[in-house]
Amino acid sequence: MIETLFNTTEPLAGKRILLGICGSIAAYKSPEIVRHLLRLGAEVRVVMTQSARQFVTPITLQALSGQPVRQDLFAAEEEAAMDHIRLARWTDAIIVAPVTANSLACFSLGLADDLLSTLLLVTRAPVFLAPAMNASMWSHPATQGHVRRLLEFGAQFLGPDAGVLACGEEGAGRMLEPEQIVGQLRLALASKTLSGKQILVTAGPTWESLDPARGLTNRASGKQGFALAQACAEAGAQVRLISGPSHEATPPGVVREDVTSAQEMLEACLHSLEIPTDLLIANAAVADHRPTLQSPHKTPKSAVPEQIALTQNPDIVTSIHLHPQRPRVIVAFAAETRDHLDSARAKASRKGADTIIVNDISRSTTGMGSEINACTLLHDKMQIEIPACRKIDMARILIRHISKIHFASEVNHSRD
Ligand code: C5P
């Protein structure tokens, strides 16, 4: 079951990706890109320029991709297997990583003196370029002129990053890490069911301090909320993520703000509503109570408190629902152990949520802190069961349903 869902939700699954490699020291990272793409279910073919072979061998890339590596425009055997026109038509996307200053110049001028540059002239598939070069080469007006021209042609640039370069100098010119390149590619190729929508996601637990060392929190890891933010960004939305303490990495394309307590989360959310918001996804496991008194100093071990007085925290979803800048749609979550559907329906109407997603946390294998999740989506009389799957798959499935339920008239589902 997990495998089937994986295949249907991963934007790169089944995609045919042509990876071009040019002659830069960063080419040593290109095999990693192949590995990431294959792991996500993409089909990969590799084309290398002559100088790329100085940095990484075709045998390595052939072994990893499981396909012959193309190098030469005039190799009769390679052309017989799949000629360059068919290869250019076969691909769903071309990514050149690394792309050098020389290759950028060739592509921008429309030169076609080797297989890779010829493919770039023939293809109508989206082209992604991940530059790698010395900072002075990158900032040179000649290179920047080529970049502008390639952008006009529709090429999309992934990076470069700034930092210490292979030559020892510092500045912009470092190729993005393979994981970032694949993450950006996934963002670009995913179905855009929430294109242009402004989405606010809350995630993670909150931490309610007792003193500088101790506090009250819960088992939420932030995984599901971060996955939802990722799925929204993949669907083309502008995503703001407000998270309690979490070790999860920020998904590509998501703007993250870290907070600690429920009160801080509420303030951050209300501030964030200054941007007119289409959708709030309230996934955070907000602490319902906080210690009434917070000591500025660590309480000594000997001072055992007989009781800890608690105060009710504000309800973030309710406050947002009552706010004059209420998002058009509010989706809340409910972690329940008993009568979970009825309690969740009551919770949705109490808090002003349009849709509620219920986790039955009496099952120890799914939900909080776990890698997988099982949910029921409730909206009006609609009840959609989503069986146990990885949290990223759950996020993509939920986002697909939410787009259809709430934004169907505004988005194009033709690629679903
Ligand atoms: O009441 P309960 O905590 O079960 O409600 C869960 C939903 O309400 C989640 O969407 C959660 O993000 C939100 N919530 C909130 N503020 C709180 C408690 C929960 O917004 N103080």
What pLDDT sits at residue 337? 76
Q: pLDDT confidence of 117, banded at 50, 70, 90? A: very high
Atom of ligand 1 nearest to the CA of 333: 10
What pLDDT sits at residue 339? 79
HEC profile of 253-284:
CEEEEECCCHHHHHHHHHHHCCCCCCEEEECC
What pLDDT sits at residue 365? 66
Place of tokens 């152990």: 337
Whether 27 has a pLDDT exceeding 70, the answer reads yes
The set of protein residues with a Cβ atom below 6 angstroms from ligand 1 is 202, 262, 282, 284, 286, 288, 313, 315-317, 332-334, 347
What pLDDT sits at residue 4? 39
What pLDDT sits at residue 364? 63
Whether 165 has a pLDDT exceeding 50, the answer reads yes
Q: pLDDT confidence of 129, banded at 50, 70, 90? A: very high
Decide if 389 is catalytic: no
| pTM (two decimals) | 0.85
Share the mean pLDDT of the chain: 92
Atom of ligand 1 nearest to the CA of 314: 21
Whether 368 has a pLDDT exceeding 80, the answer reads no
* Angstrom distances, CA of residue 184 to CA of 156, 221, 353: 10, 24, 32
Produce one character per residue of 329-353: b if its CB has 16 or more CB atoms within 10 Å, e if not: bbbbbbbbeeebeeebbebbeebbb
* Residue whose CA is at the smallest distance from ligand 1 atom 2: 334
Instruction: Please name every residue paired with 311 in a beta bridge, in sequence order, or none if there are none.
Output: 290
**pLDDT exceeding 70 applies to what percent of the chain?**
95
Structural domains in the chain, sorted by start:
2-189 (3.40.50.1950), 198-288+311-407 (3.40.50.10300)
Return the closest-CA partner of residue 34 out of 21, 49, 53.
21
Cβ atoms within 10 Å, residue 327: 23
Distance from residue 299's CA to the centre of ligand 1 (Å): 30
**Ligand-binding site membership of 288 (annotated):** yes
What pLDDT sits at residue 369? 64
**Ligand-binding site membership of 301 (annotated):** no
Instruction: Label residue 257 exposed, middle or buried (CB < 10 Å: 0-12, 13-18, 19+).
Output: middle
Return the closest-CA partner of residue 27 out of 130, 162, 143, 121.
130
* Residue whose CA is at the smallest distance from ligand 1 atom 17: 315
Lowest mean pLDDT among 171-175, 227-231, 410-414: 410-414
- pLDDT tens-digit profile of 353-367? 999 999 877 766 666
Return the closest-CA partner of residue 272 out of 204, 222, 199.
199
* Residue whose CA is at the smallest distance from ligand 1 atom 20: 316
Distance from residue 276's CA to the centre of ligand 1 (Å): 22
What pLDDT sits at residue 52? 97
Q: Report the distance separating Cα 44 and Cα 42, nearest Å.
A: 6
Task: Identify the active-site residue in 167, 232, 269, 389.
Answer: 167
**Ligand-binding site membership of 72 (annotated):** no
Atom of ligand 1 nearest to the CA of 313: 21
What pLDDT sits at residue 1? 30
